[in-house]
Structure 1
Amino acid sequence: MPKAKVAIQARLKVSGKERETLDDIMRRWSSCMRYAYKRLLEGKTRNALKKELQKVFCLNSRYIDDAILEAQGIITLSKELGFKPEKVIFGGRTLFEKLSKKHLGLS
């Protein structure tokens, strides 16, 4: 059974260069999590996926583990709620509404 994670919320004051670095890490982590999500749906194992993600996204092991854990959590939650995991939209409500209008012709 995995260890429980503790999250601390805080406000960061960052300079321009630090913000760029932080944005880059966040962008790569988000991409890594979406990639892990798709590979988990394809049936890849966590260990094989971890090695692959480290090569592709150049993130440290802790970030990779968290991305895989987040992806597994989304899959589990969508199954528990009775949704198809393949139909998850990453990006939030605004993206969902744009896609709904485009694909469903809603106004």
Structure 2
Amino acid sequence: MCRNIRVLHNFEPPATEDEIEAAAIQYVRKVSGSTRPSTANEEAFDEAVRAVTAATRTLLDSLVTKAPPRDREVEAAKARARAAERYGVRGATAG
């Protein structure tokens, strides 16, 4: 599950609230061991997602770097190339 959590810091444009919440959901899913909480646990799950989302936003807003912002398309192309090498995909195309 955690493989779906992506680096959100130092991108141009900055991470969106949707990206931050998606990472928070993945984190809470991993920690709880559940992709869908039971009705009894839904409120706790949702509150955890809200708390992790807020903490992540605070972290991202507070981080400082001297590195130039990363380009999302360049990073996506690198990830596709790594996946193609890792899984032996030949002729992988950008897309």
Check whether TM > 0.5: no
Indicate the TM-score class for this superposition, using the shorter chain for normalisation.
0.3 to 0.5
Q: TM-score by structure 2 length?
A: 0.34
Which structure dedicates a bigger proportion of its chain to helix?
Answer: 1
What is the TM-score with the length of structure 1 in the denominator?
0.31
Structure possessing the higher relative contact order (Cα contacts under 8 Å, 6 or more residues apart): 2
Question: Greater strand percent: which structure?
Answer: 2
